[in-house]
Amino acid sequence: MEKIKLQYDKEGDVLEVFLRNPEKAVSEEMQDDIVMHRSLKDKKVIGFTVLNFGKRFEKQKAREIVVTVRK
């Protein structure tokens, strides 16, 4: 099992989630401010980016953000 890596840029309010090592990818907006990244090589999900991450929690008073990835 690979480790999940999280990076948060507080100034830009951007959360990056890597499900595997970063590599060349195709990016696709899945929902408002949520971008999924797929490997060019095998088309599997590498990770995703959540823009305005902190604002989403404040606005929705949420404890979680759910992202559904379809193959």
Could you report the per-residue pLDDT of 37-47, keeping only the tens digit for each?
999 999 999 99
Within a domain: residue 69?
Answer: no
Within a domain: residue 70?
Answer: no
Number of structural domains found in the chain: 1
Within a domain: residue 35?
Answer: yes
Within a domain: residue 44?
Answer: yes
| The pLDDT value given to residue 64 | 65
Give the span between the Cα atoms of 50 and 6, in whole angstroms.
11
| pTM, rounded to two decimals | 0.74
For tokens 């099992």, what's the residue? 1
Within a domain: residue 67?
Answer: no
Measured distance between the N- and C-terminal CA atoms of the chain, rounded to whole angstroms: 19
| The pLDDT value given to residue 15 | 94
Within a domain: residue 65?
Answer: no
| Structural domain range at position 13 | 5-60
Q: Residues 60, 54: contact at Cβ < 8 Å? A: no
Give the span between the Cα atoms of 2 and 12, in whole angstroms.
27
Within a domain: residue 43?
Answer: yes
For tokens 């907006």, what's the residue? 29
| The pLDDT value given to residue 54 | 86
